[in-house]
Amino acid sequence: MPFGTPPPRRSLCTHAFLHALAAATLATAVAGCGRAHANEDGNHAMILGLFKDKTTSRVDPAVGAPLVRQAALPAAFTTPPAPAHALVRDLGGDAPPPAGRLAPNPTERQPIRAYVAPAAGGHPGVAVVNIYEPRRETQLWQMAPRDDTRFDTRRAARFSPDQDKWSAFDAESVTGLPAGQLLIHLACDKPLPTDGLFVYDIAADRLRLLAEGVTPDWSRGLPFTFVDTLQVTPDAMLVLFHSDKERLGPQRYVNRVDHLVLFSSARRDGVPVLTLGIADGNVRQWGLVDRTLWLRTSDDRGAGPRAAFWSLDLARLL
């Protein structure tokens, strides 16, 4: 196996599990935290903590419509459209950049893993690259012209000014967003583990923190899922993530808050359309009928789960 077996590297399942538990413990310890200060670019990111008294559901004013309780879900959802942006490819490589070459079907035995957004709209292809030796870290690379299996030059964007002080960090997933952006789920040891979401603007070569302290959807078990997406229109996507873990008992957890953020070419920074408190349930199913979002939720804190159904009209944003 090239480069040997790097000790810091873990399987995706184990790595996510350890980060999820440690991040949740850290969130409990900093229960007094609230909305964060602005990041480098002046945009506010969500630093997520345990807000037991602040988990009332909230609809962003930009939505212009209320969250409505319903008796049931519709019989069928509208089929999501194909995205206007190209899909990110999950590839493995035979050597760290710039020398490595990428190919499909990545394995744990390969020295790097890369999430590649192909060239589009006059922008070059870029890769979010996990490198495992001499330490676990993530780098951003521009791909060679007309060959997005080979690296060209390293990009300057950084996740944080102090990322060199982090013990380790790597991208657990990368998802294409509208308007030439990428959503990166980054697992970090600072040295305490935490999971964050970053938005990368390909054209501007700029990273910004969307949320820190995210937790998995505990109801889905292993491997943990931290982020879900729903294509609303070819140029608009909903992102769902979670925070504020609460322990119910041995191996039983819920998230006190679910977050739904809408991204589009007109809303590149994202609109937090719905912050859903646990009293109204965690999202278990979602879909669209025309331009109305429908949710099935469950509050699992009692003796038995309490299901609920909701609708939210997104027409004003679309």
My answer on whether omega of the bond before 223 falls inside 30° of 0, hence cis, is: yes
pTM: 0.85
Residue 5 within a domain: no
Contacts of 207 (CB under 8 A, 6+ apart): 140, 157, 158, 159, 184, 198, 199, 200, 201
82 domain residue, yes or no:
yes
Residue 149: both structure tokens together = 């299996």
8 Å CB contact between 114 and 91: yes
Beta bridge partners of 112: 93, 131
Residue 253 placed within a domain: yes
Is residue 83 in a domain? yes
Average pLDDT over residues 295-317: 95
List, in sequence order, every residue forming a beta bridge with 296; answer none if it has no partner: 285, 309
Say if 1 falls within a structural domain.
no
Query: Residue 44 has what pLDDT?
Result: 52
pLDDT digits (tens, 9 = 90+) for 211-253: 999 999 999 999 999 999 999 999 999 999 999 999 999 988 9
pLDDT of residue 123: 85
Structural domain containing residue 123: 12-317
Tell whether 3 is covered by a domain: no
Bridge partners of 122, per DSSP, are: none
In a domain, 144, yes or no: yes
Q: Which of 305, 295, 308, 235 is nearest to 259 (CA)?
A: 295
Q: What is the count of structural domains for the chain?
A: 1
User: Looking at the domain assignment, is residue 4 inside a domain?
Assistant: no
